[in-house]
């Protein structure tokens, strides 16, 4: 079994929209994926212009969704 998590985030006006998806992929011939968890949410944007800091803020917000 292999787990894969996808985090999608985008900044619109003063809100950051987040989506998380966790899937399990079986190691069989069909490689079927089973969704285990999905979460969505928004957080207030801070106006961060430094990409690394923005990404850090997004990842912290993503952890808080869990």
Q: Are 16 and 45 in contact (CB under 8 A)?
A: yes
Q: Is the pLDDT of residue 58 over 80?
A: yes
Pair of tokens at residue 49? 């212009």
- pLDDT score of 28: 72
**Which structural domain range is residue 25 located in?**
2-65
pLDDT value, residue 34 = 83
pLDDT tens track for 3-55: 999 999 999 989 999 999 999 987 777 777 888 999 999 999 988 889 999 99
Q: What is the count of structural domains for the chain?
A: 1
pLDDT given for residue 9 in this prediction: 96
pTM of this prediction? 0.78
Coil/strand/helix, residue 13: coil
């Amino acid at each position: 079994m292999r787990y894969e998590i996808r985090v999608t985030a985008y900044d619109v006006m003063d809100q950051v929209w987040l989506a998380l998806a966790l899937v399990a992929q079986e190691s069989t011939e069909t490689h079927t994926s089973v969704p285990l968890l999905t979460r969505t949410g928004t957080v207030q944007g801070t106006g961060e212009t430094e990409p690394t800091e923005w990404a850090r803020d997004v990842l912290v917000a993503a952890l808080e969704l869990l």
